[in-house]
Structure 1
Amino acid sequence: MNVSKILSFFTFPQNVICEKSSLTDRYAKFYIGPFDKGISTTVANSLRRFFLSSIPGYAISAVSIDGIVHEFSPIEGAKEDYTDFVLNLKQVRLKLLSESDKKEVFIHLKGEGVFKSGDLSKFDSDIVVLNPDLVLLTLNKDADIRIKIIITYGRGFALADEIAKNINEIGLIPIDALYSPIEKVNFNIETVRYGVSFFERIVLEVETDGTISPIDAYKIVVEVFKASFRNISDIDISDIEPSYSADKNLMDIREMVKKLSSSVDELNLSSKISNILKESGINTVYDLVSKHKEELKFKSFGKKSIEEVEEKLKEWNLGIGMHLPKEVIEEFENDRRNV
């Protein structure tokens, strides 16, 4: 088989251009081409999926506060309760200068003030926080709080239940960890002229959280992309056991994500309950099912309200505080980042 002769029928990209005028520490626009018609879309879709799933990063994956063993407890000396604190920690975007895989940080807060994410660097200079103005705790004059947080290096999204398997310390509470530094990836296909012929090129926009530059992220993705295809040209002819089709499972995941992305209005709750939920920051079905009953203690939202919500969610085969598979959460987070 003359491979060179076959390849001569195709046009392959000559270079990649990063637009200088729009380049920042967090955003880049790449122009990749030329491609024969139709191939660019296949490549662009693959690149996008690699960006969203392949780049590792840092996240806070566990926390403990002296004297507190339950995640729904109040924090003496702070306006926020433990649940609020954990939700705030999930939003912290950071990296470690040492590039170590794990870091334990010990924090002592005393007296009135505001503890922000940027203050983490005061307790360990190895930490660089990219959203330093995020408020973690609001302290009163009686505050005397000792906190331990665990920062880990990982890829994709890790559920608290998964992280808990590696925790043996009493009082250390696992946190859902979003390791991916990629905020958004979009692309479109342009028709361009090279010489006398028309081809396609990819216009790829990449936005990161600042812990990695979009150019470095692109380089990582290309290396992972190449490594994924490196050995698939080697074919072994042998017997193999049949595997079950994953099509149905994939359809189930997409259907679940569609439900979770729906507005709470689509549950057909009473207008009073729907309004209370939205006023409390619960706008989607995902926001609702990811809460525990203890977190739904709003004003004028009692037992009957919770029963109505549970009944409506049951019709969708969902429930308050339900365990969501990792694959569903990853797909949901990817879709939400690219809205």
Structure 2
Amino acid sequence: MRSIALLGKIGMSDHTIILPSKPKVVSEDKLRGVYEIDSLYPGYGHTLGNSLRRIILSSLPGTALTVVKIDGVKHEFSTLDGLKEDIITLILNLKKVRFKSTVDEPQEATLRVKELRKITAADIKTSGQVEVLNKDQYIAEITDKKITLDVTMQLEQGLGYIPKRMLQQDKVEVGTIVLDAVFTPIRRVNYEVENMRVGDRTDYNKLRIFIETDGTLSPREALERSIEIMIKQLKAVVGFQEEEKEEEVLPEEEGVEEVKGGVDKDFLRTRIDTLGFSTRTANALASSNIRTVGGLIRKSPDDLYSIDGLGEKGMQEIRRTLGNFGVTLK
């Protein structure tokens, strides 16, 4: 009887997974931060750490230089008489300049210098919605007083890294240089996991996260936003997907019949996220609950222009994509 009672005690275990602590600051300054999360269930340190690291690197928006036009220059493999640097070096230095934009729409910045001197990011002129953060960043040096360096730049907001072949969907005029865009405001992020004691167990995890940003947001903001993104994504997949209501694409709905023309009814049920729209356009449509082609073509251009984050560039993308399938907006 005694052995049975003893076995009963040993066999009884707590099946409750305790919740971890809130993040605490180990060290922090303007660009770098180290944070710890304690009391993670065994194995959860790597699960949470790797997920947060990937989100921090890929899913935090930032502002990047996407297009450059330099007066007197036809392509990036050129040189400019009177300028110490070649054009490729000039562009690489411009890409090191960190911009912070308060709006989603593309913004223009200019650089115009005609003096014999070194040029820094402080010489860049921007609108009131854009701020240059590292104004001491070296750009180039003019060595001949006869020349004027005149540069026009386009700045856009985005996520992660986008190669120029994806940004340059249409032909551009000679002299317009489209660039690979690094939008992420994160310079480096890493994590480590070590065991810690919780009660009688010594295999619980302590997660330590190291974050370095470019100054457009603080390390703490980067961690907080990544946690919010993770929670939002997980909430979206709770439960199972229900079938979309047929009425979303019924041809008898007002305005669909005349717009549809000879379009296949099945195509009207096609989901927007399968058409290859850019992330910006797809997110703007999803935020307005436009999820199928049928729902999209019921909207007038005025309706679409009123959607936050969907400007003229997005409208051109929608028209072009629908046109490939022989469909037009109202």
TM-score above 0.5: yes
Aligned to 1:205: 210
CA deviation after TM superposition for structure 1 residue 170, in Å: 4.2
Contact 1:64 1:172 (C-alpha < 8 Å) held by counterparts: yes
Give the corresponding residue for 2:234. Answer: 229
**Alignment-mate amino acid for residue 13 of structure 1:** P
Q: Give the secondary-structure state (helix, strand or coil) at the position aligned to 1:136.
A: strand
Per-residue deviation at 1:189?
A: 1.1
- Equivalence for 2:139: 136
Three-state SS of the structure 1 residue aligned to 2:38 is: strand
Cα deviations by residue, 1:12-70 (Å, 9 ceiling, x for unpaired): 21322122xx2111111111131121121111111111111111101111110122222
Q: CA deviation at 1:166?
A: 5.5
Q: Quick one: structure 1 residues 144 and 126, their matched pair in 2 at CA, closer, same or farther if it must change by over 3 Å?
A: same
Return the alpha-carbon distance in structure 2 between the equivalents of residues 61 and 41 of structure 1: 35
Q: Which runs of 5+ in 1 are unaligned?
A: 1-6, 239-339
Kindly provide the amino acid, as one letter, of the partner of residue 66 in structure 2.
Answer: S
Which residue of 1 is the match for residue 121 of structure 2? Answer: 117
Structure possessing the higher radius of gyration over alpha carbons: 2
Q: Secondary structure at the match of 1:67?
A: coil
Q: What's the counterpart of residue 198 of structure 2? A: 194
Residues 35, 69 of structure 1: CA spacing in aligned structure 2 closer, same or farther, 3 A cutoff?
A: same
- Contact 1:102–1:151 (Cα < 8 Å) also in 2: yes
**Cα displacement string for residues 64-119 of structure 1 (whole angstroms, at most 9, x for unaligned residues):** 012222221112321112111112122222212x3343111232211201111232
Contact 2:20 2:41 in 1 (8 A): no
1:79 & 1:61 partners in 2: Cα distance? Answer: 23
Kindly, what percent of the aligned residue pairs are identical? Answer: 29
- Rounded to whole Å, the distance in 1 between the matches of 2:171 and 2:189 is 34
Say whether the 8 Å CA contact 2:46–2:193 is kept in structure 1: yes
Q: TM-score, normalised by structure 1?
A: 0.62
The alpha carbon displacement at 1:235 in A equals 2.2
Which residue of structure 2 aligns with residue 15 of structure 1?
22
Cα offset for 1:136? 1.1
Say which of 88, 103, 127 aligns to 2:107: 103
Please, what TM-score do these two structures have when normalized by structure 2? 0.64
Q: 1:79 to 1:57 in 2, by over 3 A?
A: same
Change (3 A) 1:55 1:166: farther
| Amino acid paired to 2:137 | L
Contact 1:115 1:135 in 2 (8 A): yes
Q: 1:237 to 1:130 in 2, by over 3 A?
A: closer
SS in 1 for 2:67: strand
Find the aligned partners of 1:101 and 1:46 in 2 and give their Cα distance.
30
Q: Distance in 1 between matches of 2:185 and 2:77?
A: 29
Query: What secondary structure sits across from 1:15 in the alignment?
Result: coil
Counterpart of 1:92, as a letter, is: V
Q: Does 2:179 match 1:164?
A: no
